[in-house]
Structure 1
Amino acid sequence: MAPLKIAVLDDYQGLSVPHFKQLDPAGYDVTIFRDTLLPYNHPDTPQSVKDELAKRLEAFEVICTMRERTPFPRELIARLPNLKLLLTTGTRNASLDLAALKERNIPVAGAADTGPAKSVGADSTTQHCVALILAAARNIAPDDASVKSGGWQTSYAAGLSGKVFGTVGLGRLGVAVARIMSFAFGMRIVAWSSNLTQEAADKKAKAAGLPVETNGEKTFKVVSKEELFKSADVVSIHLVLSDRSRGVIAAGDLALMKPTAIFVNTSRGPLVVEEDLIGALEKGQIRTAALDVFNIEPLPLDSKWRTTKWGQDGRSQVLLTPHMGYVEKGTLDVWYQQQIENIRRWEKGEALTSSFF
C-alpha cells in the first residue's frame, strides 16, 4: 500500500518537524511547507498563484494547516480531488468553507491549547497585546533604533497610569487585556461592541475578579462607539471577524481619536479598513499604531506597511509584528501533537478530538 500523503502547511519556524518524524516513513509521506502563498480567495491573488497553490496541494490526502494562514474556500477545495482529512489548529477557523468540506465528507478537526497559560488566565495573545501597548507607549522600537545608530534621547514616553483604555469588544481577550490595564496601571476602562450592555459588562468585571464599580464609576464602562474613540488614550481591538464586523472601524472612527492616542490591533486585519488606517497614520493623526494583523499575511514585500518611513515627516509611529499573538513554542507543540493523534484516530476510524462537525 502506498504511504499516506500528508502536507503540513505554513510552518514558518519548523516546529512541526520533530512531531511528524514520529510517523513511520514507510507508511507516511510527509511534506512540510515553510512558506505561504497568497490566499486563493483574495481579490488581488493572480490566477497563476491560485493554480500554483492548487497544484501544490492536489496530491495530498491529509492537509494540516496552521490557523488561518492558508484559507480553504469552496473553489480551492474543489481542486483537491485526493483530500480526505483536513486538520487545523485552534478551536475555530473562519477561513475554512465547512459547508463545502462537509459536502465532500471530509472530516475537519482543530486543536485546543492546553498549555500552562490557560491555567493562569493570561494567554499568548493577551501577553502580546499588552507588550505592544507598552512598547508603543514607551517608544521602545524607535528608541532602540536610535541608540543602535548612535543617538540618544530623541523622543518621550506616553504615561498610561490613570489614562483611558478603550476596548472594542469585551469578549475573553478584551476582558483579559482590560483587566491587566486596569489592575496594573490604574487605567479607566471604556468598552463598546454592537450588542454590549452595561449589565453584561458588569458581569464580566465581576467574573474577572474586579469590582463592578469604584467610587460610583463602573469598572467596565459601556459607551458609544463615538465616545470610545474620542475619549480613549489607547484603543485596542478585540472582535471576532465576521461579515458583520468586517471594516467596522473606518476613517470616521479614526478621525475622532486624540492626536496622542495609541491604536492596537491583535485580532484580525480586516476588522479595520486598512486604507483608512494607513491614510490616518500618513497624516500623523495619532501618536502610534501597533499592529500584529493585516489584510494579507504574510505582508507583501511592497506593502506600504513595510515601505513607508513611519515616524518621519509628520507620519505617526508604527510598530509591526508578524501575527505573533498566538505563536509560542509550547502552544504550537501541543497543536502539532494533537494533529498527529488525530491522524492516527482517523486511520482507526475513531472520533477526532476537537472535531468541527
Structure 2
Amino acid sequence: MSRPVKVAVLDDYQGISEPKFKALDPSKYDVSFFKDTLRPYNRPDTPQDVKGNLVARLEPFTVISTMRERTPFPSELVSRLPNLQLLLTTGNRNLALDLDALQARGIPVVGTGHRAPPGKAGPALADSTTEHCVAMVLAAARNLAQDDAAVKSGAWQTAPAVSLRGKVFGVVGLGRLGVAVARIMSVGFGMRVVAWSENLTQERADERAREAGLPVEDAEGRKTFAAVGKEELFRTADVVSMHLVLSDRSRGIVTAADLEMMKSTAIFVNTSRGPLVVEEDLLGVLEKGGIRAAALDVFDLEPLPLDSRWRTTKWGQDGRSRVLLTPHMGYVEEATLNAWYDQQVESLQRWEKGEELVERLC
C-alpha cells in the first residue's frame, strides 16, 4: 500500500483551509498546517539558521499550498526541496514564486481563478481591496482607531476629524484598483481626483474615466481624472493613495523627496505593496510629524517583527504623525478565501488522478 501524499498548507492565518483539506481521504493525503510565516528565504538580512529552519519545515512535503506572496519561493529555496512535486498558490499571479526555477524542476504551479461571489461581478463594483482602501482613508480622516482606543480607556473626545468633501485625492497608479478607489472618492465624497504614473497621459486618464462610467469633465470643465506630474500630485493632494504593481521599475518609486512635498494635513495610504515606498523615508517623515497620518496595509517585511518600529513607536504622540496599521487585509475576505481553498483542494485531487490542471501557471 502506497504512503499518503504529504501536503503542507502554509500561512492560512484564519484557518479557513483546515476543514477543506481535513475532509480529504487520510489514507491518500497526510496534511500539515503551518500558520506562522517564517522569515523570507531571499531577504539579505535573513540569517542562515533561519533559512535552514524554513528548509527543514518544507523539505518533507510533496505538495505545498501557499497563500500568495506570504512565503516566497526563490530559486535557492526551490533547489533545496527535493520532494516537492506540486505547488498550489492562491490567486492567478504570485510574484514571490520563481516560476522559471519551478518549471526547470518540472514542478507544476497551479493558481486559483477569480470566481466572484454572487452580486460582486461587474467593473463598476468595488472588490475587497477597494473596500479596504476606502475604509482606511475614512478611518484615518475620522480618527476611528484613536477614538476607539480613547473611549475604551476611559477618555472621551480626542482630536477633531477632517472632512474629505471637495478635497484632492491623489492616485499613484490609475489601473483597475486605482480607478475603482478614485471613482468612489469622486462620486461619494466629491473629491477632485489627480493621478500620476510614469506612462499616464491625459488621454488615457479620460479613457479610464469613461470605462468607470464617469464623464470626462465635470460641469465646470475640470477633468474627472486629471493626469498631473508626480510633484504636483504630492504637493496638492490631501490624500495620496498607492495603486501600482510592484516591479523592478516601481520598487522604491516614492521617496523622502516626494513625501516631504506633501501638505502637513495630508494622509498617505498604501494598500498595494510596501516596497513601492522607501520604508526608512516614510518612517522618517512620520516620526517628525511631516503629514497628518499614514494608513498602511502592506510593509517591506511581513508579518511585521515584534520589534518593528511600526509596532513600537508611539504614533500620534510627541509631534509624530498618526499611523493606522492593518496586517495586509486588503484581499482577505471570507468568500474569496473559501473559494480559493476549494479550488486548491480540487487541483490537488486532479493532480493525484493525473488529470489536466486548471489555472496552471507553469
**TM superposition score normalised by structure 1:** 0.99
Matched residues in 1 for 2:356 and 2:208: separation?
35
For 1:284 and 1:97, the matched residues in 2 are separated by 39
Give the whole-Å Cα distance in 2 for the aligned partners of 1:243 and 1:196.
Answer: 18
| Cross-structure match for 1:45 | 46
Q: Distance in 2 between matches of 1:44 and 1:233?
A: 36
Structure-2 residue corresponding to 1:174: 178
2:310 to 305, 315, 318: 305
Query: Offset of 1:279 from its aligned partner?
Result: 0.3
- In structure 2, C-alpha distance between the alignment counterparts of 1:289 and 1:113, rounded to whole Å: 30
After superposing on structure 2, the runs of 4+ consecutive aligned residues of structure 1 that deviate more than 6 Å are none
Return the alpha-carbon distance in structure 2 between the equivalents of residues 150 and 94 of structure 1.
45
Q: Cα RMSD (Å) of the superposition?
A: 0.9
Alpha-carbon distance between aligned partners in 1 of 2:186 and 2:253, rounded to the nearest angstrom? 25
Partners in 2 of 1:193 and 1:201 — Cα distance?
Answer: 10
Alignment of 1:123-134 (within 5 A): 123-134=127-138
Q: Deviations over 1:245-294 (max 9, x none)?
A: 00000000000000000000000000000000000000000000000000
The residue that corresponds to 1:65 in the other structure is 66
What is the rounded CA distance, in whole Å, between the counterparts of 1:90 and 1:138 in structure 2?
Answer: 33
* Structure 1 residue 126: Cα displacement: 0.4
In structure 1, distance between residues paired with 2:92 and 2:233: 31
Mapped to 1, the partners of 2:227 and 2:336 lie a distance apart of 33
- Who is 2:139 aligned against? 135
Structure 2: stretches of 5+ with no match in the other structure: none
Gap regions ≥5 residues in structure 1: none
Q: How does 1:257-268 map to 2 (within 5 A)?
A: 257-268=262-273
Q: Deviations over 1:33-63 (max 9, x none)?
A: 1110000001121111100000100011110
Whole-Å Cα distance in 1 between the matches of residues 347 and 273 of structure 2? 28
Q: Secondary structure at the match of 1:180?
A: helix
Classify the secondary structure of the residue corresponding to 1:213: coil
Where does residue 77 of structure 1 map in the other structure?
A: 78
- Deviating more after overlay: 269-278 vs 193-202: 193-202
Residue range with higher mean Cα deviation, 180-189 or 338-347: 338-347
Aligned residue number for residue 106 of structure 1: 107
Output one character per residue of 1:186-242: Cα deviation in whole Å (capped at 9) or x when no partner.
Answer: 100000011111111111110111111112111110000000000100000000000
**Following TM superposition, by how much is the alpha carbon of 1:348 offset from its aligned partner in structure 2, in angstroms?**
2.5
1-structure distance, mates of 2:6, 2:109: 17
Partner in structure 2 of residue 226 of structure 1: 231
**One-letter code aligned to 1:164:** V
Residue among 275, 282, 285 paired with 2:280 = 275
SS of residue paired to 2:303 = coil
Q: State which of 307, 315, 326 in structure 2 corresponds to 1:321.
A: 326
For residues 117-155 of structure 1, the C-alpha deviation after alignment (integer angstroms, 9 at most, x for no partner) is: 641521110000000000000011111111112212220
Write the distance in 1 (CA, Å) between the matches of 2:92 and 2:203. 28
* Offset at residue 115 of structure 1 (A): 2.9
Q: For the residues of structure 2 that align with 1:264 and 1:154, how far apart are their CA atoms?
A: 22
Secondary structure of 2:327's counterpart equals: coil
Structure 1 vs Structure 2: percent identity of aligned residues? 71
Please give the TM-score of this superposition, normalised by the length of structure 2: 0.97
Q: Aligned partner of 2:80: which letter?
A: R
Aligned residues: 357
In the alignment, which residue of structure 2 is the partner of 1:119? 121
Partners of 1:144 and 1:160 lie apart in 2 by 20
